[in-house]
């Protein structure tokens, strides 16, 4: 076996060739070896610079060739030379035979060397084209995935904006003036508007900026402005940050919706008692408690 490591290695797989010894020839129409001796295996076609290793490749080649050897024995070449003078001895003798056979051997050897060189160059071009095709396909798949995610994020942004508008409408609705506690409720409503609403919009904006950054990385990779290692490193870091931003955004939207539902329930409870309780009836002192974290928490409700 002869293994060639091209300069892009390990980004591209090594080129492996079967080098038959004297008295051996490459088996015609072998499943994994062509007539020039180049090895073709699924492991080489799916080569990855991060998971594929040379020892594993050698193990697979040894296992494959032990089941189906790529060469066969043609017999010692000396026996053929000894048998040839015996068949033509009555005509010209060994001298004529030797004069004919030696030039023929000297002519075949250079042509074989030229053929192997051209075949190796052609295989090198095919391997480089295949590696470039794989990289281009990977970039196209990533771009398609980012476009689909961008659509999903825009839909989520519209949903969050709708929730914020509903909260603003709810906060701008009629307020109770039954007691001094209504002033505290108004202050808490304004606080909810300034904190939850601002947090939702800020997180949506940050999520979209991360999407634009990912698209910019893809453009940089296509124009060879960034290498594949730096590209993958930035993708991992940005994806991790984007995951945290989405989690916080979902938490803020959930709390905002919970506050709206709680306010509606309290208004429904106050309507029957408004005609009998008068100014001293039950009023809302505060909003329900929310889990702490990125979004501001609120105390539990009390009845006056």
Q: Which residue has the tokens 């000396």?
A: 78
Predicted pLDDT at 18: 92
Predicted pLDDT at 169: 79
Per-residue pLDDT reduced to its tens digit, 147-185: 888 888 888 888 888 888 888 777 776 554 444 555 566
Predicted pLDDT at 193: 57
* Cα angle 231, 232, 236; round to 5: 120
Q: Which residues in the chain come in under a pLDDT of 50? A: 80, 86-109, 111-114, 176-179, 274-304
CATH topology of domain 2-69: Ubiquitin Conjugating Enzyme (3.10.110)
Per-residue pLDDT reduced to its tens digit, 267-295: 787 775 544 444 444 444 444 444 444 44
Q: Where are the domains of the chain?
A: 2-69, 148-171+186-268
Predicted pLDDT at 222: 86
For the beta carbon of residue 196, count every other beta carbon within 10 angstroms. 25
* Phi-psi region at 181: left, alpha or beta (left = phi > 0; alpha = psi -120 to 50): alpha
């Amino acid at each position: 076996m002869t293994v060639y490591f091209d300069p892009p290695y390990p980004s591209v797989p090594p080129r492996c060739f079967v080098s038959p010894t004297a008295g051996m020839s490459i088996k015609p129409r072998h499943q994994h070896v062509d007539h020039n001796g180049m090895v073709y295996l699924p492991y080489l076609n799916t080569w990855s610079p991060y998971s594929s290793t040379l020892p594993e490749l050698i193990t697979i080649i040894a296992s494959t060739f032990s089941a189906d050897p790529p060469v066969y024995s043609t017999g010692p070449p000396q026996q053929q030379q000894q048998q040839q003078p015996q068949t033509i001895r009555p005509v010209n003798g060994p001298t004529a035979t030797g004069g004919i056979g030696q030039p023929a051997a000297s002519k075949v050897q250079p042509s074989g060397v030229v053929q192997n060189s051209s075949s190796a160059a052609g295989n090198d071009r095919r391997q480089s084209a295949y590696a470039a095709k794989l990289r281009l396909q990977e970039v196209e798949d990533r771009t398609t995935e980012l476009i689909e995610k961008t659509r999903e994020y825009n839909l989520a942004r519209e949903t969050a904006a709708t929730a914020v508008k509903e909260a603003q409408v709810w906060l701008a609705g009629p307020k109770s003036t039954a007691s001094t506690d209504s002033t505290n409720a108004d202050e808490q409503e304004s606080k909810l508007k300034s904190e939850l609403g601002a947090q939702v919009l800020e997180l949506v904006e940050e999520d979209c900026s991360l999407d634009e950054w990912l698209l910019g990385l893809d453009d940089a990779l296509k124009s060879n402005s960034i290498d594949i290692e730096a590209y993958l490193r930035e993708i991992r870091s940005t994806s991790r940050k984007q995951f945290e931003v989405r989690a916080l955004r979902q938490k803020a939207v959930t709390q905002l919706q919970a506050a709206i539902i709680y306010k509606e329930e309290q208004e429904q409870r106050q309507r029957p008692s408004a005609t009998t309780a008068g100014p001293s009836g039950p009023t809302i002192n505060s909003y329900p408690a929310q889990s702490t974290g990125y979004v501001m928490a609120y105390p539990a409700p009390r009845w006056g």
